[in-house]
Amino acid sequence: MQSIRSVLRESIEQLGLVEHLTVAYILVSLLCAAICGLIIYFVYKLFYRGAVYSENFAVLIVMTTVITAFIVITIGSNLVLSLGMVGALSIVRFRSAVKDPLDVGFLFWGIAVGITSGAGLYPFALIATAAIALVYILFSVLGKGRRTFVVVVKYQDSAEEEVSKLLKETKAKLRGKAKYKGENEVTADIKFKKKSADILDRFLKLEGVSSAVMVEYTGD
């Protein structure tokens, strides 16, 4: 009477799941994943728009791409190992918080490239990587130089009209407003292509304005 392992082995061989798994196939798949991962790495490094760049996260993208390709190769070549790996990966939980939502997109990009490379879809992996990189670079170039600043202005009730008028002229987006005894505080977002100190001078020159502060906002 045949054992369960022998029955599974015969079924896998009949399905031809291990025929395509050769050393050349493994090396090409991992090489394709590594090349695409390096492209993602340089795009992330050169066009990063966040407040604090993390080299460790950039390296993690490359590692994720190659490791995902390795997992897909394993799953696609052996049915028994694939069932065990799915069970093992299902208990993995990641607790690290992602500071920038855009970083999640880069991780999914690396995982998608790893899946396509591990499945042997090399042209699709390379073309998709190049296309996504061009789209991201295009958005980065178009948005480059336009920065958001948070302006906090404290003024007396007598300067209410003048401050509101100046906020409208600068197309500021009101964030919040607080009122104290005889004094008001308004917080607004103002976008500039280049940092402009003139806006602070214009606020400070208004009669009744006691202080004005501008801080660059990165979204973190």
Q: Using the 8-state DSSP alphabet, how is residue 167 labeled?
A: H
**122-143 and 101-118 helices cross at what angle (nearest 10)?**
160
The pLDDT assigned to 71 comes to 83
Q: Is the dihedral of CA 3, 8, 13, 15 positive or negative?
A: positive
Cβ atoms 153, 163 nearer than 8 A: yes
The pLDDT assigned to 32 comes to 92
The pLDDT assigned to 93 comes to 58
Per-residue pLDDT tens, the chain, 220 aa: give them: 456 656 555 555 544 445 556 788 888 989 999 999 999 999 998 887 765 678 888 898 999 899 888 888 877 766 555 555 655 555 555 556 666 778 888 888 998 999 898 888 889 999 999 999 999 988 887 766 566 777 888 888 777 788 888 877 777 777 778 777 778 888 887 776 655 557 777 777 788 787 777 776 655 5
Domain locations in the chain? 4-143, 147-217
Q: Which pair of tokens denotes residue 203? A: 């606020």
Pick the CATH number of 147-217 from 3.30.565.10, 3.30.70.260, 3.30.300.30, 1.20.900.10: 3.30.70.260
H or E stretch at 217:
strand 209-217
What's the rounded Cα separation, in Å, for the pair 217 and 220?
8
The pLDDT assigned to 200 comes to 74
Q: Is the dihedral of CA 109, 112, 116, 118 positive or negative?
A: positive
Q: What is the pTM of this model?
A: 0.62
The pLDDT assigned to 81 comes to 58
Question: E strands, 35-127, where?
Answer: none
Q: Is 2 helix (H, G, I), strand (E, B) or coil?
A: coil
